Amino acid sequence: MNVLMILTSHDKLGDTGKKTGFWLEEFATPYYVFEDAGAKITLVSPLGGQPPVDPKSDDAASQTEYTKRFKADIGAQAALAATRKLSEVSASDFDALFYPGGHGPLWDLAEDASSIALIQDMLVAGKPVALVCHAPGVLRHVKTPEGVSVVAGKEVTGFSNTEEQEAGLVDVVPFLVEDMLRKNGGNYSQVANWQPYVLSDGLLITGQNPASSGPAAKALLDKFASPV
């Protein structure tokens, strides 16, 4: 199984002067879920090279079993430092697609033509796509061959408005994930802030928050094993 993981290249948290990027746990946990299942993993980002890590996700309070494993894994660190360019990959070379979150994707991947086309191609080819936390935001402009949003009529989740309020960034992000999913016709639902929650509807898998990254990765493996 060939899994493509797509990370943000965006590191500016709006006009705050602070840094953002991808959320470390949302990368590390799925990475090892896939690796331990024997999958071949390819890492890409819009600019290629080392994607920016959200500093908050790298502090002591945010460390988990999998982030600690990553910090001791020289091979995984080297792979992350040398991501390929997103524009250079094709859906035909992969079996499944996974997007870690962090706030960065709301600025670059949500508007990236290569990302939009890749998701559309994967879904048309019958291949599953999973997105966690803020990453469902990259579905903002993705459409079906009929020109309808891919989330329309789908059971979806993603970083909730209440979680964004708790993070204090409602007025900083370019759009709210929950609002976008609802506006595009998705049947959005959530559980309590920061609790794991994953929805699988057809080929689309979405997770609400960092705690949902492992379950979302496992749901992607299950979808690949038993496509419905």
CATH number at residue 219: 3.40.50.880
The whole model's pTM is what? Answer: 0.97
Q: Total domain count for the chain?
A: 1
Distance CA 75, CA 167 (A): 33
Q: Which residues contact 94 (CB under 8 A, 6 or more apart)?
A: 2, 3, 4, 42, 122, 127
Please report which confidence band the pLDDT of residue 228 belongs to, taking 50, 70 and 90 as the band edges: low
**SS3 assignment, position 136:** helix
Q: Specify the pLDDT at position 224.
A: 74
Which residues 6+ apart lie within 8 Å of 179 measured at CB? Answer: 161
Q: Which residue is listed with tokens 């494993």?
A: 69
Confidence label for 67 from pLDDT (cuts 50, 70 and 90): very high
Is it the case that residue 226 has pLDDT exceeding 80?
Answer: no
Average pLDDT rounded to a whole number, residues 194-216: 97
List the domain range (segments joined by +) for residue 125. Answer: 2-225
Per-residue tokens: 120? 């559309």
Give the other-Cβ count within 10 Å of 49's Cβ. 12
Task: Give whole-number Cα distances, 90 to 44, 81, 140, 162, 223, in Å.
Answer: 11, 21, 20, 36, 20
How far apart, in whole angstroms, are the C-alpha atoms of residue 18 and residue 119? 30
Q: Are 209 and 157 in contact (CB under 8 A)?
A: no
